[in-house]
Structure 1
Amino acid sequence: MIYFARVSDNHKSLAGIGELEEANVIRWSSFFNQDFRGNGISPMVGALTSGKPELEEASQNLLSYFDYLDNHLAVSKCFASNDNLTCVNISVCVFFKVIFSQLPEETIHLENYGNIYRWYFMLLQHPVVLKTFR
């Protein structure tokens, strides 16, 4: 995802502008892929054969990741990785749209995470993200 953004003639900024932004894109990409997906979501949506202890641990992990992201977005206000739209934001928006449709309703109450709620619905209206869903 980051590679394709870097080599794109039209969307190089989606990989981050400058070394620090690129590093933040990689950092947040790793967080969402490893922690959110690997330790939080995957056991809950059947990607792994999980028993009750694993599911409880995954649920607790997921809530802590939502807390972490919500607190981060309280400070950053706009996007997860930088002040500009990046491929991480697009990827996570698509990912959230999918998981919110797969997880049981009682798993995550997005309205309890005001900053994530604001960020997610802002992203859903962003022109680049809207093109993604077409």
Structure 2
Amino acid sequence: MTETGMEALTEPYYEALKRGELVVQHCKACNHNIMYPRHLCPFCYETDLSWVPSSGRGVLHSFAVQRLGPPSGFENDLPYAVGVVKLDDGVQLLGRLWPDPDGEWSGYSCDGRVEFHGADAAEIAHRPVPWFRRAD
């Protein structure tokens, strides 16, 4: 990587999301997976980092359904849900939650299993975050 700015650092992550894939950084020195993107490993402070595919499966630790609120740029999306997911890969991240077929999120529960299901490229271009569904 020749550029050192945040755009260069995060580009592989966002490009993977656009392809419908989820990737995490991996430290070759200490073998830890890392999220969110950074220039050096927070465990051993080495800079030998690469991007590896994530299993996309994990546990939903917390979530909230936003039904109303002040203008934030997301008011046209109401209602929507976000959740904190601890991936089996050992990292934790924030993502959007797909609604159940009835348009609600009543099937989700804390400590319930979820898995990554990418959004289409247009959605990712507008809101570059990972999307998760309940793992049945």
TM-score range, shorter chain: under 0.3
Q: Which has the higher strand share?
A: 2
Larger radius of gyration: 2
The alignment's TM-score, normalised by the length of structure 2, stands at 0.23
The alignment's TM-score, normalised by the length of structure 1, stands at 0.23
